[in-house]
Structure 1
Amino acid sequence: MARKTYQGEKNDKNRTMNKLIQSVGVVLEKKGYTGLTIANISSTAGVDRKLISTYFGNINNLIEIYIKSKDYWVAATEQAEQSLANAKDTSTRHFIEELLINQIDQFGLNEEMQKVVLWQISEPSEIMSHVTQEREKMSSLFFAQSDKELAGKDIDLRAVSSLLVAGIYYLVLHSKTTDSTFCEIDISTEAGMDRIKNAVRTILKQTYPTD
């Protein structure tokens, strides 16, 4: 059997940083955003609490790194510029439709991010302010292209998109926490969510001119 060799201080640091980042998600899932304390995160990671400040500066930086790594819109923004460039001859309706349908699926599966969004709308937070500013980078990429496509049309795509994104967040949260239908749709079921997806497609189709 080959003898294991010591990988060095740098690898030890990377492993510890990764433990701390992943522990943010564990604490979020188990205790919610109010449980994101230095004691809880370091204990979950099994490392000295002082390493949070040593490696991340402070706990807020650590939490922000985790949230940005898991946030759907932040991740989507990284691929958006290339996707838009590749689809420059395709209506932006198809691009935003795909983003919103994926948002429904991804947000529905991500319990940590469900708690993050609840945190975002519950109280002012410097962390969430930074995250939402990062999300807005998608808007600057997408709307710059859609404005050209919809020039001269009386269409407020920003307002329509705002309602759709916010509605998706709320409906997913409602399906996870409330044991009731919503407008007589059982959104806790796949069939119910399929109806919501079809509604998103219909709204976008009716918002855009014929494409």
Structure 2
Amino acid sequence: MDKEYKMVRKTTEGPIRNKEKTRLKLLNAVGEIIRTEGYKGLGVNNIATKAKADKKLIYLYFESVDKLVEAYVRQKDYWETFSEGIQILIEEHKGNFGKDLASKILVDQFNFFLQAEEMQKVILWEISEKNELMREIADARETLGNELFKLTDPQFENTNVDIRAIQALLIGGIYYLVLHAKSNGSTFCGIDINEQTGQQRIINSLKQVVEWTYNEAKNQKKDL
């Protein structure tokens, strides 16, 4: 009985392991191409060659090249990391209307994007051409952002502090500062974020802007 069980187990688990191994190879190939060649290198033949896999497996496991790329981007995208635990985060930070969470998200995003070479290329792709896949991913980020704003918006009601506009400027600033520094290595406003001291200045300022924003809203509500 034990021998029969072991034989069945081997034959059923083997294909599953092979499938996951091949899926991972294809996903890793997408990342390597984005990092070294940019999004224009994401053709079916190039991906299959990098993965050392039959290109038919792309369609078998992901249905299309676009869905393979989407799977890769979603597993690497910073904002996707919040998708599963978003309601828990909201509950945990209700006490101060997401003030601490807002700082943490911005600082973590800055640190993540600074190191994530593939995602730097993905953001460049998003802003350089009209693309349905990139639009879907951007829209998914917006949906997640709206969930987080449900936590922060009440703090800013009946004030002239526009938390959404401020967050847009901060997040956009993070993207631009990192892309600028990584593209040509130059400073911005005399700050070099390729150096630890420059990175810390940005982190401190992100926290400071969030602090000012919440304090201003709080003070305005006191005067009502």
Among the aligned pairs, what percent are the same residue? 36
Please give the per-residue CA displacement for 1:11-30, whole angstroms capped at 9, x wherever unaligned.
Answer: 32222122111211111111
Question: 1:10: how far off?
Answer: 2.7
> Please, which of 113, 118, 129 is the counterpart of residue 107 of structure 1?
113
1:194 corresponds in structure 2 to 200
**What is the letter of the counterpart of residue 198 of structure 1?**
N
Deviation string 1:99-151 (CA, Å, 9 cap, x unpaired) is: 00001111111111011011111101111111111111222211112122222
Query: More displaced, 98-107 or 7-16?
Result: 7-16
**Alpha carbons 2:93, 2:100 under 8 Å: kept:** no
**2:156–2:162 Cα contact (<8 Å) kept:** no
- More contact order relative to length (CA 8 Å, sep ≥ 6): 1
More helix by share: 2
Give 4+ residue runs of structure 1 displaced > 3 Å after superposition.
3-6
Paired residue for 1:68, among 67, 74, 98?
74
Find the counterpart in structure 1 of residue 28 from structure 2. Answer: 22
Match in the other structure for 1:141: 147
TM-score, normalization: structure 2?
A: 0.87
1:168 to 174, 184, 187: 174
Deviation at 1:47, TM superposition (A): 0.7
Which residue, out of 127, 130, 137, partners 2:133? 127
Match of 1:95 among 79, 87, 101: 101
- The 8 Å contact of residues 39 and 125 in structure 2, kept in 1 or not, is answered as yes
Q: Which residue pairs with 1:77 in the alignment?
A: 83
Q: Structure 1: which 5+ runs fail to align?
A: none
8 A contact 1:27–1:41 mirrored in 2: yes
Q: Which runs of 5+ in 2 are unaligned?
A: 1-6, 219-224
Aligned to 2:83, the other structure's residue is in SS state: helix
CA distance in 1, matches of 2:87, 2:49: 40
Instruction: Provide Cα deviations, 1:39-91, integer angstroms capped at 9, x if missing partner.
Output: 11111111111111122111000000000000001112333321111121124
For the residues of structure 2 that align with 1:11 and 1:18, how far apart are their CA atoms? 11
Counterpart CA distance in 2 for 1:92 and 1:160 is 14
What TM-score results when the alignment is normalised by the length of structure 1?
0.92
Once the two structures are superposed, what CA deviation does each residue of 1:184-204 show, in whole Å capped at 9, x if it has no partner?
A: 112221101111111112211
Moved more, 153-162 or 133-142: 133-142
The number of residues matched between the two structures is 210
Cα distance in 2 for residues equivalent to 1:79 and 1:178? 37
